Structure 1
């Protein structure tokens, strides 16, 4: 059985068992005591257990919280309970911590239970609470999906930032270790040639156009070397800004 089906089954069973417990007159008198025990169990589980898989930790914790919420609501009036809003928070928690299907299944079961309990005594207030419960489920699902998408987007942004920093580092290394030394070498050689040709003056047999071309290349190399230095400084500044 897949983890999604397993989680759904456990959550569904916890809802049904809690309802059966609260529906039994000989057991529901201990709702308060059971709630206290489950609360201690929840904090004890959180304190003593640290599984590597976060969902392995979320499942027992969520089942305990789910049971506590339902016990409180069933004990304080069900559909008319002043703690009815806890169900909305429960659906949001299920949709965020697990899959949206868990929130849908939990909502469907709880709505069916409330209808079974109150089908002969439904009034306006109870109907409004039921409708709000039904409408809250898709809202919780949509919210959880959007929240997960935002987290994924942030993760992608972090990956892109890391890749950008790596690219900037590689660019700086390439400029400082390869580009600038190569440009400097070519520039020095070109400058030596220009100085040599200038020293020979008219004794040089080369056409003047070639000498002028070498001077033009020298000027371009100086400009290119200066641009490489400026680019190196710009990348360093941007890297410092990103780190801040």
Structure 2
């Protein structure tokens, strides 16, 4: 929305989970959208994710750095065209670190999130932010309640929204059911969760079509999720 009766403010949704409205300005949103469109092109481009039980996710996905498929990571699109996964750019990792520092404070940036330079030669195999999962929600796309539990790092997860507004459901670590909190995420919003909320269940029960900023030029919603794999760099 262009005007607000009451400006939106950052909210601590749960311990270690913070929503920061309007974190990306219009120019940075446009830049990130251009990059997402480049990453979505084949090879190793946007794909439909199929679950082991034969179902399909309604949100389509492209990965950077490491390719995620249910429920593992690979260096190639193992469940698609087999191409090498697209590289994870250093500037995106820096964006992730700035997001965590802003939302949770610099102390939340543990050594894995800071990267090899902070760890020293003996621990250089530990990576900084090195995974991006980019989900595109079109039409009636949804995301069921799930946990981001396939990494070997407990560094905070960074979520950036572009395009249409969504209802983001943030739950608890024990069950997919209540208690949970529904948060409205708009284009440019940041959501970070780590610490005691790192393995909380979360999902997207609803997207609100036609709510993207008019000047962005995107119909639908893009979610850019950044993670630290914790995998050895040479793997």
Bin for the TM-score computed over the shorter chain: under 0.3
With a CA cutoff of 8 Å and minimum separation of 6, indicate the structure with the bigger relative contact order: 2
TM-score computed with the length of structure 1 as normaliser: 0.18
Task: Kindly name which structure, 1 or 2, has the bigger radius of gyration based on alpha carbons.
Answer: 1
Query: Could you say which structure has the higher strand fraction?
Result: 2
